[in-house]
Amino acid sequence: MFAVAATLHPAHAQETQPELKSAPSFVDNFANFNQSRWFVSDGWTNGAHQNCTWSKDLVRLSDGVLSLSFEKRKLKDREFACAEIQTKQRYGYGVYEARMKTGAGSGLNAAFFSYIGPQDKQPWDEIDFEVLTKDPSKVQVNSYIQGKPKNAKLVEVAGGADKGFNDYGFVWEKDRLRWYVNGKLVHEVTNPDELPTHSQKIFFSLWGSDKLTNWMGAFVDPGSKVTMQVKRVAFTALGQPCQFPESLACSISNSN
């Protein structure tokens, strides 16, 4: 165990999509922890809504699986500790994918998402998959434009997000944003006012709240460590070939 601080039209996309700065395509199967790619959040919270402090000790890698955990442990001014990683580089239009499994528990949020905001001197744009683990039979998809939520929708995860590994992916284009669960299209947005326009970092996080009860449920101390696991994450830029056989970029690039 290693502890660590529907159609893409590739050619058309290359011709008509405006420049949106992006780091190169990649696949990370977590054979090791790429410290040049990932930054581990440690020693702070994202605000008063969060009842835990980010801890690098709760990010671990073992046998090709990245684990992010939540546990009862006083850290700074919070009674719980939690985990988050984020890419150091920013990514633009393309296919974003993760294969992951969550824990369960009311008041927790297990998320795979892209985000940019004031911390990087940019407007707040975001694209989300969030498993509100009070009910891991569903995942919430959403996006934020200029800090305002635009497309929240709860969709079913067959078998449950906590019962096995599932594939989550979104395809972000200039004029369209689509979310997929296990290869199935579950949500699509084409309204230009509801589409992000700024390159973003990729995040995984597991955190809790005793304040956002209407959304995440009443917080219940899980009594033991809760973990989300990630086997793979990938970004494939528009117009680039798919990078692994199960990728959305393979299955939808030639569809109608």
At 205, is the secondary structure helix, strand, or coil?
A: strand
Written as six digits, the tokens of 35 are: 């410290």
Known catalytic membership, residue 156:
no
Dihedral sign of CA atoms 175, 179, 183, 184 in order:
negative
Cβ 93 vs Cβ 119: under 8 Å:
no
CA-nearest of 228, 241, 205 to 65 is: 228
Q: DSSP characters for 17-50?
A: SPP---PPPEEE--SS--TTTEEE--S--S-TT-
Q: Which of 71, 84, 126, 173 is catalytic?
A: 126
Distance, CA of 23 to chain centre: 17
Q: Which of 71, 130, 188, 194 is catalytic?
A: 130
Known catalytic membership, residue 97:
no
Residues involved in catalysis: 126, 130
